[in-house]
Structure 1
Amino acid sequence: MSRTKHPRRRYDPNRLIRRAAESLDRKSAALPLDQSQTTDIGLTYHLSLDAIKGGYATEEIWSNLACSVNIALILAEQGTEEARIEDIKRAQDALMRAKARSERFGTWGLDGDGIRDLQMALTVHDSQMKTAPKAQVRVAINEMHRRMAAGDFLEIQR
């Protein structure tokens, strides 16, 4: 007897569950972050801003602020509040001045313009987190890590 039938696919008892989960993930990725997620994210960098303004910041606190500003820049480049790119770049410059200051004097701090620029950038970041879909935020985070690995960062201005 000749074999005319196509071989059958192996039975997968979890196929329906896996497809349903994938569908939920796709639908969820199209939605913005929920209130609790934006609050958790915002709390971290707003407390970091208070620490650096108060003069008791550490490199980790500076890094939290740099991460949020970098994500804000990437989201702006992708079209979420694109008009604020220059404001965000000024905040990056302020953070680089703070890093240079810490290397010279051993303390982490911002100048008056730096505080203002960083507050503006964090306001933009708050707004972006409320409106950007989760998938776009995930892409921005991955792009930030890619740029860091490639060495694309601002040089310290002295």
Structure 2
Amino acid sequence: MTIYYLYQKKYGFYIGHSARFTGQSCFPHGFKGIFISGGAKIGSNCVIFQNVTIGSNSLPNSKRVGSPTIGNNVYIGAGAALIGNISIGNDCRIGANCTVYKDVEENSIVTSAELIVRKSDMIMNNKFYKWTIDGPAYFKDGKWIMEKDQEIILKLYNKL
């Protein structure tokens, strides 16, 4: 535990001991500024950028007392805050600096602080890519996998 607390202090993050991850998540910029409250549930293959808050609501007279539940393949932009007993469906995108305090259906995109939610038929690619010597690779199930789809590769290189 001492190593955890030293690392936590050095990088300025907090992940509550009762937070639960059902699979591995990707933290593209490390844990810098990330706060995940105890009781939060986070699905597999989630991408969580810097300064994200996944926080509990502990106001007893509030409608959403508790912690967020986040589905699989959710992409959470930098500075986003997901607060209270809310449910974020699978394959959603939460835009940078959004404050989310309501449930979000799967395959939805949240795009502003006013919580504008747009339902999509299906979000096919919530992958986080990094560039390697051999080309783009994406994070899935705790591993970096080389992208093989030529159409996606061309889009990543702005050739389409």
Q: Given the two structures, how large is their TM-score scaled by the length of structure 1?
A: 0.22
Relative to total residues, which structure has the larger strand share, 1 or 2? 2
Name the TM-score, length of structure 2 as normaliser.
0.22
